[in-house]
Every structure is written in structure tokens, then in C-alpha cells.
Amino acid sequence: MQSNAQAIFESWKNEPSLDAATRAELTAIENDPREIEERFYRELEFGTAGLRGIIGAGTNRMNAYVVRRATQGLCDYLATVPGAKERGVCVAYDSRLFSDEFAKQTACVLAGNGVKTYLFTSLHSVPQLSYAVRHLGCMAGIVITASHNPKQYNGYKVYWAYGGQAAPEQAAAIYEKIQNVKMFAASECDFEGAVHDERIVLVGKEEDEAYYAATAGLLLSPDLLRKYGGTLPIVYTPLHGSGAVPVKELLERVGLTSVTVVPEQAAPDGTFPTVTAPNPEDPTAFRLAIALAEKVRARVCLATDPDADRLGVAVKTANNEWVTLTGNQIGCILLEHILSTMSAQGKLPENGVVIKSIVSTRLADAICKAYGVELENVMTGFRFIGEKVDQYQTSGEKTFLFGFEESFGFLAGGLARDKDAVCAAMFAAEACIAYAQRGMTLSDALDEVYETYGFYQESVKSYTLEGKEGMERIADCMRALRANPPKAFAETPVAVLEDYLTSERKLIGGTVECLTLPASDTLRWLLTDDSWIVIRPSGTEPKLKLYIGARAKTREAVEEVLALLMADVDGRLTKLLSKPVQKNAELNR
């Protein structure tokens, strides 16, 4: 079926209200049918993570018109919620290109629709926005960010009153409203006039102070940090993002006075000139931090992404080699630190709960079991952790202690309802100080965890397929895997296959059970040797994601198992993604 991309392109180009820069951008591609198709064959999908796309003109791009239309749709949805306009919406933005402009335009549409609007006066992190939504009593929040994506991306994330991302039902309802809004028909107001009469309230300092005080109050050993905080050099890089102010400020407030910020990456810059992508999951993002650490004799480096919801950690080993920790390793170091400290202090609650995603390490299960703490698994996406935190804090049924995802998202205490790299940096620093008192680094701490609980290792691989054809190939791949699921990987039999799209759990022998977690286009295989495999499309990017986990008695053994599994699954996926699905029916047998 042929799209009507060309017709939509023409309607944009002929729009009288189009600004000169956008018109020039469209004129430059008017003889490029492929580019027109990519930009206009669809609209950016509004999901639970809101909008995310490449910056540029078009319905399948992030630009001022798409932002205004999305905001108008959100306003139309808020009009159906009693008291929503009066409670208002808080808007924040990170350092990405056009983030400040998109945030200002968002505020003008909100205020133009009679919605009380709070706008941060400078770039702020996701956790600060999440906290502010609840602190201000807002009905919703918006962050202009594309998280850790490359520089050509930006996005629009919607949060709800509980401080976490909008639920799927809400996102669907908002998207329906957005689709009923004509592209150039958003109602706006004059920014300066709206600020003057307080339809738009500029916020910053008071919200920052409240967040800092509440987060510092989560420390487990504040006296330890005050006494020894100046003795341990730490290098930190915000990777040109919004973490620069809150991370440095919070660490200094709790006593970490030997923190050195990478100067080349301290200032906000949406072009991210010193990195390929501002992603703390990427070891190359630590290049400048590690070089600085060698100069100041630090043995640990911390990094946050542009919206400061992800934390990365690099540590120096006993062999004086630098290694970047995985999200699973960071999560388990923090988990062990939190549970062991609370246990030693006699403060571990009987109803404590730790929450992680199904694609995160099973090492966390072993740690929680050792301390008698319940561990709960949720679907991929930190929203699910945030929802559980809110549920348990509201009901009092369980006491939330810690949550994490393998994708470098961590949350302690539950002040925010999303990943909080600012808080996580504080706990990582506290763990550094605590282990230093035992003559250990974080690298030593990780070794101790493995020696105590066994050797667990995980691997993640993404398959990026840009554009319309790429999305179709990813969908074809998932259909092929469901049509003919493998019965073994690397000669290790499958014990259980979980299909979260059909909510079925199929055991070896044919028994079928019902899964209770929310429906998701996700497949998980549990193997007979305790290894596991998860395959799912990304919810925010044109990627297919592969997760593999293994457990063994030695480091060498677990590495061997993981390598064999990766070679097997990678080979299958590479074939499936390179051919049309109807030609791939035999590949999984």
C-alpha cells in the first residue's frame, strides 16, 4: 500500500504559517522522493515514552509543529480530567538542540489552553521533573529530551500526577486527541504576557532545594560521608547534559568535596562534540573522564546522560586497568551496599521490596534472597518500576528499597518515579567511601559479590534498522520467531518460553500457564542451565534488542556459556533481519 507522503509534504510546503527555516528545509528535499517518504510516511508514534525522533521538518520528525500539536492534544485530554487545568503541568528540558525552544512553545500552548503551567528557567534532569510534579501537585509533567540518543534526536516525554510516565491507556487516549488536532492549529499565547500574569510560572530554586534536601535524606551513612568524603577523589562527567549542576551540588552537600568535573564536558551542548553519543552505557564516553582520573589519582568515574536519568560508572581494578561496569553490575553493587548497610544498622524492613525488569540480571535475586528481601520482576521500561513504587508507597503494603534496569537506570528511596542518576550518583559515592574503609574499591566490591553469590554475566546487543523498511523487518523477525520458536540455543534445551504478547508461559512438555505482567512484544526463553534469552523491539527507537544472561561457578565458565549463546542467537537474528519473513520460515528449526 502506497503512502500519501508526497501529498502531506505538499500540504506542509503550502502552509501559509510555515516559518522560513522549515520552508527552506522542505524546498531542499522536494526532488528527493526517498527523503520525503521517510519524513512524511507516518507520524511519530506517541507511546508511554511520549514522542522521540530525528530533529527536522516532517510528521515523522521532531520539530516545533509536532511539539505544538502534541501539546494541544495533551491539553484536549486534560480538559476531560476534572481539576487537571487548575493543578497544571510542569515543563522541563535538557541540553539537546532546540530543547529550550520546544519547552517554551510547549508552555505557550499549555497556557494558551488555560492550563496552569510551571516552566523551569534552566535545563533540569528527569528526576527533578518527576519530583517537581508531585511536589507542586501537578496533574502532569513534560520533559523535552531524547535521553541518551545521538545528537540528531529529540523527544517529548509525558509524566502523570504520580511522577512517573503516563500509562499505556493514558498515552493511547492522549494520542487519540493528538490525531484529532490539525498540524498547524494549536492554540498558543504570548510567552512574556503569560509569564507576566502568571499563567506560566517560572520555577527553579525552590524546587531544586526541596529535591536536594529530600535526596540527601536518603543517605544510609551521612556521618561517614561527612568524615571521609574529602579523602576519596571522584571524577564526574555530565556528558554536556543537565546533570552538571544537580550531581555536583548534591555530592558537595553530603560531603563529597573531592569531586572533579571533566571541564570539556561540563557545559551544556546539544551537539555533544566530545562523544559519538552522550551515552554512559558506551565505554568510549569515559575517554576524557578516565584521562582526568589518572591526573587526579581517582579510581572511579561517574557519568550521566543528557537528562540525567542514567548513570554509568568506570572503575580502576587492582591491576590498574580501567573497566566500565555494566548496568547490571552497578545495580548489584548498589543493591548489596544498600541491603548490607541497612541490615548492619538493623533497619531492613520486614516488608522490603526490590524491583527490577525481566531483562536484568538474576544476580539480584540471589542478593535479595540472602537478606530475606522480596524481589519483584516487571516488564522492560522504568515506568513499570515507578508504578510499583507509587502503588506500595500509597498502600503501605511494601517498603520500596531499590529498583533498577540493566540499561543503567537506578532508583533508591522512591522520591522520583523514574530513573534517578543524581540520587544514584550519591549512593555510588557513598558505596565508594564505605568500601574504602575496608580497603576496597568498587572493583573489589564486585569481585566480592561474585565470590559470595556466584558468577553471573549478561550481554546486550541492538540491531538498528532505520526507516520504514527497518521497522517492517523487525516486525517480520518477531513474527518468524513466534511462528517457529527455537527449542534449543547453543545445544542447551529450552525449559520455558514466555510470550508476553499472548501472555502465555509454555513449559517443556506442553504445559501452558498464564503470565500476569502487562502485554508486550517480548519473547523470553529460560534454558535448562539457568541461562536466559530475551528478544524484543525497542519501544523508543528503530531497534531490535537482544538480552542474554548466564550463571556458572567460575568467571571463565560463565564467559564461555555467554559467548556460545551470543554466537547462536546473533546468527539467527542476523539471518531473520536480512530477509523477508516469508523466506525465513525454515531458519529457526
Answer for the pair 118, 103: CB distance below 8 angstroms, yes or no: no
Give just the sign of the alpha carbon dihedral 336, 376, 137, 94: positive
Map residue 147 onto helix, strand or coil. Answer: coil
Asked whether 324 and 314 are in contact (CB, 8 A), the reply is: yes
- Phi/psi at 372 (nearest 5 deg)? 70, 30
Residue 269's alpha-carbon distances to 54, 102, 290, 311, 451, in angstroms, are: 17, 16, 21, 19, 42
User: What one-letter code names the amino acid at 383?
Assistant: R
Residues 508, 427: Cα–Cα separation, whole Å: 42
Q: Which residues pair with 312 in a beta bridge?
A: 303
* Number of neighbours of residue 343 by Cβ within 10 angstroms: 14
Q: Which residues, in sequence order, are bridge partners of residue 287?
A: none
SS3 readout for 484-510? CCCCEECCEEEEEEEECCCCEEEECCC
| Grid coordinates belonging to 273 | 562534540
Amino acid at 471: M
C-alpha cell at 77: 485530554
Contact 331, 408 (CB under 8 A): no
Q: Which residues contact 430 (CB under 8 A, 6 or more apart)?
A: 219, 220, 221, 224, 225, 254, 337
Please state the separation of Cα 370 from the chain's center in Å.
Answer: 29
Q: Are strands 259-261 and 234-237 parallel, antiparallel or unpaired?
A: parallel
Q: Using CA atoms, how far apart are residues 559 and 541, in angstroms rounded to an integer?
A: 29
Residue where the block lists cell 534536601: 213
CB 354 within 8 A of CB 343: no
* Catalytic machinery residues: 147
Q: Which residue from 255, 259, 241, 65 is spatially nearest to 149, judged by alpha carbons?
A: 241
Q: Of 99, 180, 179, 212, which Cα lies nearest the Cα of 145?
A: 99
Does residue 501 contact residue 522 with C-beta atoms inside 8 Å? yes
